[in-house]
Amino acid sequence: MTVKEVFQFIGISLIPIAVTILLYYGFEHIEKRGKKDINKLPKFLRTEKGRYWFRQIFTGLILGGFSIGLYFIGVEVKDYITGSSDLKIGISTFFPVLAGFIFGWPSAVTTTVIATIFRMCTPSFLRWPTVIACILGGGFSAAASHWFLDDKRSHWFNAFLGGLFVEALNLLFLFLFNLSSISDAFKTIRQFDIVCLLCNACCAAITCLIIQIQKKEKVIVNIKKDKTIGTRVQAWLLVICFLSLGLSTTSAYIVSFSDAHDNSVSMLNHNTYDIHNDFLLMRSQTSPTKCTERHIVSESGYCLVLTADDKDTTLEGTTESGTEKFTFHGKNKIVGIPKNVTEKYNRQMHDSFKFDDGKTIDQMPLSYATDDFKTSTFNFFYENVWGESCLIAYTKERLPSSLGSDANFYCLTIIPSDEIYISAGISFRVDLYVLILVFIILFALIDILISKSILKNIQIMDTSLEKIMEGDLNEEIKLVGTYKEFHTLSDNMNLTVGALKNYAAEVEHRMEAELKVARDIQVGLLPTYFPVEKEYNLYALMNTAKEVGGDFYDYIKMNNGRILILNADVSGKGVPAAMFMVRAKTLFKSLSSTLTDLGEIVSKANDELCQENDSGMFVTAWLGIFNPETGELDYINAGHTVPLIKREGKFQVFPNKHRIALAALPGTKYEVESTYLEPGDELLLYTDGVTEANNEKGKMFGIDKLINTANKSNYFNAKQLLTEISDKIAKFTNGVEQFDDITMLLLRYTGNKELNPENTLTLIAKPISTSVAVNYVESVLASRELNQKFIARISIVIDELFANVAYYAYPKGKEKDVTVTVDTRDDLLKIRLIDSGIPFDPTAKENPDVTATIDERKRGGLGIFIVKNTMDEVRYEYKNFQNILYLNKKINPEDKINKNE
């Protein structure tokens, strides 16, 4: 092929690449859209099986149709067998390869049937070889797709080998079906065979490569990084096969062409001396010889005698066979030629000499000058003769002097190179096609043998062993194939796993018994009686996991009438965690009997737990000291979950600061936070086993679902609420094995006795009423024997807050009531301001910058800032269309009147 024809062939080869990629991504798009709204598809496409067969048949029909169409736009080459020049070469055998390696074996079969039927109708000498190549190539593609690739899309390298295999098969059959005219077949095939081989292989590979790159799949395996046996074996197998192919083809080429050259030189040598002997016989015998195609050249370089068809022809004329005399060209000397040379001396230099008879050596454009023919030994050289490369042999014939002074001649014999190497070319190309086929077949067979029989079994064993290592002793290793070694190995491994399973069952039985005892001890240490008092009631619940954990809860009545409540979780699982839990629980009970300050209790407990803690365990805990008389709650969160608090009839997250977990850092001082529970408030403590409970999809229960469950419950006591939450978690997990303990504690505060009516004052919300409210509060505080300094501070608070309500709560002229309640029992001052004005939260106002100068400071906010700093707790809520402001203040001994003064 010319360069232009090669590029034309490459351009044609791009068409199936584009068609295949469009088909592939077109069906992918249809598949995605079909899954989104499958009811819009025809009925036969609504099942996965239906869509699969439609895709296979449709792609087979399309690719088969293109294999026909591309035949008519193939590249035209000369057909030396028929002599025509309209033989079209395309890539029809390429389509079954693409169909099988991209879509699947049904597509390959469909494409093959269409391409085969069409090829049977073509008139050229390519018909039957291509038909058989299509059938075998399509069958190879379908088989490789189904058994070698497991009905998956091919890697680009496998597609390259597939395209190479099918085209090599096609070219081999072209030779085998034209043995009677193999020389002409060779001249025809050598025009396009290399281009066809490369284009078929590269186009198949490029198609798969484009898809792999688009899908971000691994294109080239890094042997250094990917150290699997399969990768290494395939890489070395490929290297060995390629080296074998290269060495074999190189050896075949060298041997074929060297042997053809040596045979031609030997033949020329033999025929040159035959001419010499014929000439001697002609001069010595009485009758002429019947030599054919004899060329005798004089010393001066002139051709003297040509013989053909029993005639001796000189350059100056022709005489009949047997004449004794003829004219030498150039010297006009008569040499007698004896007659009656016997038949046994007949000589033939070559079967079919291509050049015209009657041309002299002067007319041959040789670079060798006649003066160079000086030796009498046999010599040869390559030279272009009349437009063709030829092998030329010559020798100087020295005849007896009795024949005359002009008796010395040069014998020159010529063979075209094309005729010398045609057999070598045929042999080499056949060897090349066979070697390619053998190479690919061996590579595929060895790769299948290794992948299907050895590597697959290794992968099965590796997967099974991984499951066994994860604890699944019910896993049974089932290897494929009939190899005795693998079955013996799998049987032995299964026996070993069976023995291990029995041993593990025994150990598990003993461990379960021991863990049951440990769980019983753990649960036995937790309170089972929960108080139901007039001011409060409390309930706790713990659902233990299969394995012993470190969750615990407790409530401890202290000497001062207060209650220590705690909810905790020890890090880790098993007996060590349970033992650490016992130690922590005992420590808290001991410290609460001698100490009253929560910060001191927790700090000392932390220091004790840090000692002799070589295992590095720690405890997360939420601890609080609750005063049932006043609702006061001091608390510390040591790395625990955030509790929920029910206020205004709804559970919500109770914000508090996270401190470091206990037993994590010795010498830590824990800061106490405080709040006040109002009658009806509830506090829910829980461990992370509640919110981190997982269902079969791996989704956690979560704090939002916990809040939602608590708020939707119509419980009438603490036990009912915790039981309902526990049932909700069990339903959510849906049988998934519980990994962690589920522990909860609920404190409900019902409050003390009702406030006395004389401690409540209701006024019209007008500025003039402010002094009345202040005087009322002062009188109540004075009756409780509180000193003037304390009363003055509280008076400022009431003045600020009542004035705000009087000025801003109601529209002018539509003022309504504002209620002030005061309670000073149990050394706790509790003041409530209640109005039904517009909703307004004074605690939300940002604190002013008290460090700024008067000019720089923004107006407003200073009054509420004084209120916040005077009271221990300022809390707002909007309930039943009322603004309620809660003010709490501890009454210390120094706030009372000293009667001794």
Q: Which of 721, 749, 777 is the last residue of a domain?
A: 749
Query: Is 872 a domain residue?
Result: yes
**Confidence band, pLDDT 50/70/90 cuts, at residue 564:** very high
Query: Is 404 a domain residue?
Result: yes
Question: What is the DSSP code string of 460-501?
Answer: HHHHHHHHHHTT-TT------SS-HHHHHHHHHHHHHHHHHH
Question: What is the DSSP code string of 545-596?
Answer: -SS---EEEEEEE-TTS-EEEEEEEESS-HHHHHHHHHHHHHHHHHHHTT--
Query: Is 675 a domain residue?
Result: yes
Whether residue 388 is found in the same domain as residue 408? yes
Query: Is 459 a domain residue?
Result: no
Whether residue 877 is found in the same domain as residue 765? yes
In the predicted model, what is the mean pLDDT of residues 447-454?
70
Query: Is 213 a domain residue?
Result: yes
Whether residue 411 is found in the same domain as residue 287? yes
Whether residue 385 is found in the same domain as residue 533? no
The answer, yes or no, to whether residue 159 has pLDDT greater than 50, is: yes
Please give the residue range of the domain that contains residue 184: 3-220
Q: How far is CA 335 from CA 16, 403, 412, 617, in A?
A: 73, 8, 20, 126
pLDDT (tens digit per residue) in 806-822? 888 888 878 888 999 98
pLDDT at 481: 60
Report the range out of 173-177, 285-289, 322-326, 375-379 with the highest average pLDDT.
Answer: 173-177
How many Å apart are CA 356 and CA 360, to the nearest integer? 10
Q: Which of 483, 518, 553 is the last residue of a domain?
A: 518
Whether residue 196 is found in the same domain as residue 267? no
pLDDT at 641: 94
CB-based contact 236:308 (threshold 8 Å): no
Query: Is 254 a domain residue?
Result: no
pLDDT (tens digit per residue) in 824-879? 877 888 899 999 999 988 888 888 776 666 666 666 678 888 898 899 889 898 88
**Confidence band, pLDDT 50/70/90 cuts, at residue 399:** low
- Find the CATH number of the domain harbouring 867: 3.30.565.10
Name the percent of the chain lying above pLDDT 70: 74
Listed range (91-100, 351-360, 386-395, 525-534) with the worst mean pLDDT? 351-360
Listed range (72-76, 230-234, 556-560) with the worst mean pLDDT? 230-234
pLDDT at 662: 94
pLDDT (tens digit per residue) in 637-647? 999 999 999 98
Name the percent of the chain lying above pLDDT 90: 14
CB-based contact 864:844 (threshold 8 Å): no
Strands 658-659 and 632-638 turn out to be parallel
In the predicted model, what is the mean pLDDT of residues 522-545?
83
pLDDT (tens digit per residue) in 623-664? 999 988 888 899 999 999 999 999 878 899 998 888 999 999
pLDDT (tens digit per residue) in 84-140? 666 777 666 667 777 877 887 888 888 888 877 877 776 666 677 777 777 777 777
Whether residue 727 is found in the same domain as residue 841? no
Query: Is 249 a domain residue?
Result: no
Instruction: Provide the domain count of the chain.
Output: 5
pLDDT at 529: 83
**Confidence band, pLDDT 50/70/90 cuts, at residue 351:** very low
The answer, yes or no, to whether residue 705 has pLDDT greater than 50, is: yes
Whether residue 552 is found in the same domain as residue 504? no
Query: Is 798 a domain residue?
Result: yes
pLDDT (tens digit per residue) in 480-529? 665 666 677 777 777 777 787 788 778 777 777 767 776 776 777 788 88
For the chain, give the mean pLDDT: 75
Whether residue 170 is found in the same domain as residue 310? no
Q: Which of 749, 782, 811 is the last residue of a domain?
A: 749
- Find the CATH number of the domain harbouring 685: 3.60.40.10
Whether residue 767 is found in the same domain as residue 855? yes
CB-based contact 545:738 (threshold 8 Å): yes
Whether residue 640 is found in the same domain as residue 699? yes
How many Å apart are CA 213 and CA 300, to the nearest integer? 72
Whether residue 792 is found in the same domain as residue 722? no
Whether residue 762 is found in the same domain as residue 740? no
Listed range (79-83, 464-468, 625-629) with the worst mean pLDDT? 79-83
